[in-house]
Structure 1
Amino acid sequence: MTSDFDPANNAVPAPWHVRLLGRDKTVIPVVRLSGVIEAASRPGRINIQSAAPLLKRAFGIKRAPAVAIIINSPGGSPVQSRLVAKYIRDLAEEKEKQVLVFVEDVAASGGYFIATAGDEIIADPSSIVGSIGVISASFGFEEAIEKIGVKRRLYTAGKNKSTLDPFLPEKKADIDRLKKLQLDIHDVFIDYVKSRRGDKLDTENKDLFTGEFWTAKTAIDFGLVDKLGDMHEVLREKFGKKVKIERITPKKPLFGVPRLPFMQIGASDESFTDDLISSVEAKSMWSRFGL
């Protein structure tokens, strides 16, 4: 007659059929959010439309005590950042699960906004975090079109409809209005970070909300990060060696290979140009952090 007692760990192992099905392991679903944050549905972008189905599936795994979220983003749309962060918190409260956020190369600006939805933020010592600020960028073409003999003809109903038109000279009133919008958005960002990070933040640091960014090795002293480490190491520490990582990935289309926007039937030159410009802008955002 054999005994189920295990003298190695002074514990009774799970029944054989439970071990066979892997039910003796702690399942931790993992969602990876990587890319620039923008509303447009393009490959390598983060938005509520693409993130929500993955997050819903992850939080829907009943026997998982926590959900791990990998974030790798230089930022982008403040609205999409807030929508994704709010959805994470709504699901965490509804399903009563802990949220662990793991930073890869960068969680800056909107990327950090989403990261703060976690109960804990864990990063590699060399990860870039922070950039709690708001930025707008554009070009001015008024002199260029004059040199090539092009005249701008613009007709509006409403004196402010041509605000910041790139083919017209800048107006101080337009810049002042833009600054007001930026300050409003910045306040929302700061308030959210404060509400999520609370007493962890080093509020004596005057650079904390200036848009500055740091390596996680430094940012941990400011309260922007909770711990240095990698996902596998941290999950084993928290949930034991038998932790089972279940990666939640987008469902593949039923037929064929998914088509990129510019490969779709009937795609116009304009859509191709938009995709190209978006790719250049995304590259510019990544390169700001040396990536």
Structure 2
Amino acid sequence: MSDEWKAPEAVGDDGKSWQLLEKTLLASVEEQRRSRRWGIFFKLLTFIYLFGAMALFSPMFDLESGAVRSGKHTALIEVRGMIADKEAASADNVVGSLRKAFEDPSTKGVILRINSPGGSPVQSGYIYDEIRRLRGEHPDIKLYAVIADLGASGAYYIASAADAIYADKASLVGSIGVTAASFGFVGVMEKLGVDRRVYTSGEHKAFLDPFQPQKEEETRFWQGVLDTTHRQFIASVKKGRGDRLKDATHPELFSGLIWSGEQALQLGLIDGLGSASLVARDVIGEKELVDFTVQESPFDRFAKKIGASVAEQVALRAGLQGPVLR
């Protein structure tokens, strides 16, 4: 009798347990759905953020370059850092900017703002020749070089092609010379007992190998290459500056020494003291500056920092990529 009475209660307890279990499972499923929805939301938000960043910094979305300009302006082009292939101040970048600036119908004058220690004589020569060509093609548009902290070697090579050069009184100007540096590891290899084996099909093919002793005739040959490049540099500066050089026979003018802006003015290496804004306002007569410099995206800059440019910089500074104007 007691068993028959207790059975329904047991069944009732069991039903409540199933209901509780069902509610727990439903709550768990709902929580998973809610988590998935929030996950999708944050993923979508991240995607929108990344896409917006790419759009903002990508050259395809360069709002300034696509903007419609009204009225006259002074075109500004930056030459900053090492003048070398694949660098920001490469001939391709600077020449491309120069052409766009000269071809813009609203350009009243062009300023080449320079802050560079120099670099490749080839890249500098390309830019020098293009400046002179554009000046001849657009005689009504004057180009002025303005040296900031440093306008040395290949950077001054470029500046000498301008209609006039300006700098600050404390700027460093000149360094008209050529250098090619390397290291010699012959003594170190002898101490370590390392034997260098080089196989070539030309008598002087490996004459710049830092792991082999120098030969007198090869040293003379390499010095001749540097002297030839130096003569080309001097000739270009004289052609660009002309009679403005106060004393072209000055014994130290083309020796590789570097001068302050104040000294450079006395030597005729520059034409005046002033900044880019001063030149735009008082010389060109149009204070509005429009930047025509090729801009790299942050992704390109990041890739260069961790990529092949590291090796290129090491090779360039070690003198393994040919002569450097300094």
Give the shorter-chain TM-score range.
Answer: 0.7 to 0.9
**Other-structure match for 1:62:** 105
Question: Which residue does the alignment assign to 1:81?
Answer: 124
Say yes or no: does 1:224 pair with 2:269: yes
- Partner of 2:127: helix, strand, or coil? helix
Aligned to 1:33, what secondary structure does the other structure show?
A: strand
1:72 to 97, 107, 115: 115
Q: Is the 8 A contact 2:94 2:293 kept in 1?
A: no
**2:184 equivalent to 1:140:** yes
Quote the RMSD (CA, aligned, Å): 2.4
Aligned to 1:176: 220
Moved segments of 4+, more than 6 Å: 279-282
% identical equivalent positions: 34
| Distance in 2 separating the partners of 1:167 and 1:83 | 34
State the partner residue of 1:189. Answer: 233
Deviation string for 1:71-130 (max 9, x for gaps)?
111111111111111112212222332111100111111110011111000000011111
Question: For each residue in 1:184-240, what CA deviation from the matched residue of structure 2 results, as whole angstroms up to 9, or x when unmatched?
Answer: 101101111111111111224211111111001011111100000111122211244
Bigger Cα displacement from structure 2, 52-61 vs 206-215:
52-61
- Separation (CA, whole Å) in 1 of partners of 2:220 and 2:121: 20
- Which of 205, 214, 219 is residue 259 of structure 2 equivalent to? 214
User: Please, what TM-score do these two structures have when normalized by structure 2?
Assistant: 0.71
State yes or no: 1:35 paired with 2:81: yes
Q: How many residues are paired up?
A: 250
C-alpha change, 1:273 and 1:228, in structure 2 (3 Å) is: closer
Compared with structure 1, are the counterparts of its residues 93 and 272 closer, same or farther at alpha carbon in structure 2 (3 Å cutoff)? closer
Identify if the C-alpha distance between structure 1 residues 164 and 79 changes in structure 2 by more than 3 Å, giving closer, same or farther: same
Q: Does 1:98 align with 2:142?
A: yes
Task: Give 3-state SS (helix, strand or coil) of 1:80's partner.
Answer: helix
Given that residues 26 and 239 in structure 1 are in contact (C-alpha distance below 8 angstroms), is that contact kept between their aligned partners in structure 2? no
TM-aligned CA distance change 1:115 to 1:161, over 3 Å: same
CA distance, structure 1, for counterparts of residue 313 and residue 265 of structure 2: 37
Q: 1:239 to 1:164 in 2, by over 3 A?
A: closer
SS in 1 for 2:107: coil
> Which blocks of at least 5 consecutive residues in structure 1 are unaligned?
1-20, 283-288
Structure possessing the higher radius of gyration over alpha carbons: 2
User: What is the distance in 2 between the residues matched to 1:280 and 1:30?
Assistant: 29
Contact 2:148 2:167 in 1 (8 A): yes
Q: 1 or 2, which has the higher helix percentage? A: 2
Question: Could you tell me the TM-score, scaled by structure 1's length?
Answer: 0.79
Cα distance change on mapping 1:142 and 1:272 into 2, 3 Å: same
Structure 2, gaps ≥5 residues long: 1-67, 320-325
Q: For the structure 1 residues 123 and 144, does the alpha-carbon distance in structure 2 shift closer, same or farther, using more than 3 Å as the test?
A: same
Instruction: Kindly indicate whether the alpha-carbon contact (under 8 Å) linking 2:184 and 2:210 is maintained by their aligned counterparts in 1.
Output: yes
| 1:36 CA displacement | 1.1
Correspondence list, 1:114-263, <5 A: 114-201=158-245, 202-240=247-285, 243-251=287-295, 257-258=299-300, 259-261=302-304, 263=306
Mapped to 2, the partners of 1:221 and 1:176 lie a distance apart of 36
